[in-house]
Amino acid sequence: MEKITGSDFASPETMHDFMAFYKRLAGQQEPLYRLDDFFGMGGAWLAFRHEDVAAILKDPRFIKDIRKLAPPQGQGEPGQKYAYLSKFREWIKQMPNMLSVDPPDHTRLRRLASKAFTPHTIEGLRPRIQQIADNLLDAVQERGRMDLITDFAYPLPITVISEMLGIPVADRDQFREWTRELLNASLDPKQEDTVSEVLDKFTEYIKTLLAKKRAHPGNDVTSGLVQAHDEGDQLSENELLSTIWLLIVAGHETTVNLIGNGIVALLQHPEQMRLLRSDPSLLPSAVEELLRYAGPVVIASRFASEDVTLHGKDIRKGEMVLVSLAGANVDPHKFSHPEALDITREENEHLAFGKGIHLCLGAPLARLEGQIAFGTLLRRLPHLRLAVAPEQLTYNRSTLRSLTNLPVLF
């Protein structure tokens, strides 16, 4: 059997036919697969079955905070064992946020940020999100065609999270460019300078934003976090910077690709698309199924904080453990007919948002945006169809399943 490599998890070929790739994974005799290298970060263990992925994500022995694995000060980095400390990870070490740390820091940071993501607060955004969606389609309606990523899937969530954070409209396109550069360059050790340059620009922008919010606070998330910091609520300046950065990036990038991937999945399953169009009450279950079937996050990482034995394999302290969320979501041991898109699927314990303490904070917002986006597109564009053959769609080289563009006609 052809050996699976770390690069396979980001290749455009995999993204084009992800079901075939995960059938290769499912065919592995060992439930815990050993990768020789993962993008220059050294060897890694890979779990891809739903039961194992869920268990690892909930197990406190598998941690996010790489600072806990660094050698004592003055002893230097012990060669290949810490090869994963790239420019991006070095930045994360200095700029921790709730996605990169463990309790008690994680508990503290998540508590501060979660105030803006309560169910009541998110549901209150529904009218505004619907207005944004309608405005975006108003702008392209007469053209009869659009790039669904550029004209709809991107501006919808970036507008929502920008308004939540109190970020000027004029600055939003810059975030898209920086995020794309960062996602593309962070997988290539040869582009460390690009990673550093983008992170520096992003950091300087957020510093300027924070200064403006201190001078002129508003009723937005950024002003609230600044106030919490200034009132001594255990939020360091670097944590403040990194938390805002995380909310900007995570607040739009995954939803962009949920919308793009989801529309492609529906267009390739016209019977499901017709069913959803005829019965909008299925939107909540449809979004869950599209998260399972075409969710954007392919893989996540943890590190063993101690020696752990799993499936007879000895995972050593400090070793990287990768969990394939996409693989878990098409595990035939968990899902009946996982290769089928079924928007009426009732039991759908997918892992698109992760599991455990790092379960995606923005999941309720992503679900709401997805329901409004798909509902609005199907209601207003009854003749929506691809402008190119499916095999002509292109994907980014990334561990997010993301289309470069999505030309459609309507």
324-360 pLDDT, tens digit each: 999 999 999 999 999 999 999 999 999 999 999 999 9
Q: What does the pLDDT average to over 161-175?
A: 89
Which residues, 6+ apart, have CB-to-CB distance to 193 below 8 Å? none
Which residues, 6+ apart, have CB-to-CB distance to 162 below 8 Å? 168, 169, 171, 172, 175, 248
pLDDT band, very low/low/confident/very high, at 189 (cuts 50, 70, 90): low
| Residue 170 CB neighbours (<10 A) | 7
Of 398, 308, 333, 317, give the one whose Cα is nearest residue 8: 398
Helix (H, G, I), strand (E, B) or coil at 115: coil
C-beta separation of 346 from 373 below 8 A:
no
Which residues, 6+ apart, have CB-to-CB distance to 20 below 8 Å? none
Region of poorest pLDDT, from 16-25, 275-284, 288-297:
16-25
Cα separation, 83 vs 81, in Å, equals 6
Q: In whole numbers, what is the pLDDT of the chain averaged over residues?
A: 91
pLDDT for the residue numbered 82: 38
Cα–Cα distances (Å) from 131 to 125, 137, 372, 373, 384, in that order, read: 10, 10, 10, 11, 20
Summarised one tens digit per residue, pLDDT across range 88-109 is 777 888 888 999 999 999 999 9
Q: What does the pLDDT average to over 62-83?
A: 59
Cα within 13 Å of Cα(211), Cβ side: 6
pLDDT for the residue numbered 73: 44
Cα within 13 Å of Cα(34), Cβ side: 10
Cα separation, 220 vs 164, in Å, equals 6
Summarised one tens digit per residue, pLDDT across range 277-287 is 999 999 999 99
Pairing type for strands 313-315 and 308-310 reads: antiparallel
pLDDT higher than threshold 50 for residue 84: no
Task: Find the helix or strand (DSSP H, E) in which 300 lies.
Answer: strand 299-304
Percent of the chain with pLDDT over 90: 72
pLDDT band, very low/low/confident/very high, at 35 (cuts 50, 70, 90): very high
Summarised one tens digit per residue, pLDDT across range 264-280 is 999 999 999 999 999 99
pLDDT for the residue numbered 55: 98
Summarised one tens digit per residue, pLDDT across range 219-278 is 999 999 999 888 877 789 999 999 999 999 988 999 999 999 999 999 999 999 999 999
What is the reported pTM?
0.92
pLDDT higher than threshold 70 for residue 146: yes
Domain 6-409 coded CATH 3.30.420.40:
no
3-state secondary structure 181-238: HHHHHCCCHHHHHHHHHHHHHHHHHHHHHHHHHHHCCCCCHHHHHHHHHHCCCCCCHH
Query: Residue ranges of the domains in the chain?
Result: 6-409
